[in-house]
Amino acid sequence: MKNNILFRPLPLIIAILLIPAFGQARDIPPIVSTDWLLTNLKNPKLVILDVRRVEDYREGHIPGAFNMPTSCAFNEDKTFKTKEELTAIVEAAAGKDRSAAIVTYCDMGQCCPIWSYLMKQVLGYPNVKLYVGSMQEWTQDTDAPVTTNNKTPKVDK
């Protein structure tokens, strides 16, 4: 229980630390809106990563999104996996193109900053953005489609 209390603010802290790093990105804002994502949903150069649990992803997600659960970034002892392991996980979902535009999202914008931070600061993907409204905001928009087509890469948890 003690660890959970300390771990809860981590996504917010990571998001705050990411704001200056995202300021140097070229094409899209550091935090994308529902309108921006709807407009760019069919862009073949955009990679959308749903970082929720596999079960949540299968119940419904943003069309075109690949599932890359946040839990995949951690070892059983709650430490981050090695850079090599993280690279393999990200490349299975987002590909090897470090210049690709990537948007991460989760349920409420609390977990997606973890992968955004790892991809941008550790793995060298410079164009990673957050959709902090995440599924909570997406499902409130009547124009925002939800699908159950699965695009879950095979990675170890």
- Extents of the domains making up the chain: 2-138
Q: How far apart are CA 21 and CA 105, in angstroms?
A: 18
Residue 23 has pLDDT above 50, yes or no: no
User: Each residue of 60-104: pLDDT tens digit?
Assistant: 999 999 999 999 999 999 999 999 999 999 999 999 998 899 999
pLDDT of 152 reads 56
% of the chain surpassing 70 pLDDT: 77
Average pLDDT over residues 43-56: 94
Q: Among this protein's residues, is 106 annotated catalytic? A: yes
Q: What is the pLDDT of residue 29?
A: 58
Q: Average per-residue pLDDT in the chain?
A: 82
User: What tens digit of pLDDT does each residue of 37-46 get?
Assistant: 999 999 989 9
Structure tokens at 39: 């407009």
Q: What is the mean pLDDT of residues 120-131?
A: 93
2-138, what's its fold?
A: Oxidized Rhodanese; domain 1 (3.40.250)
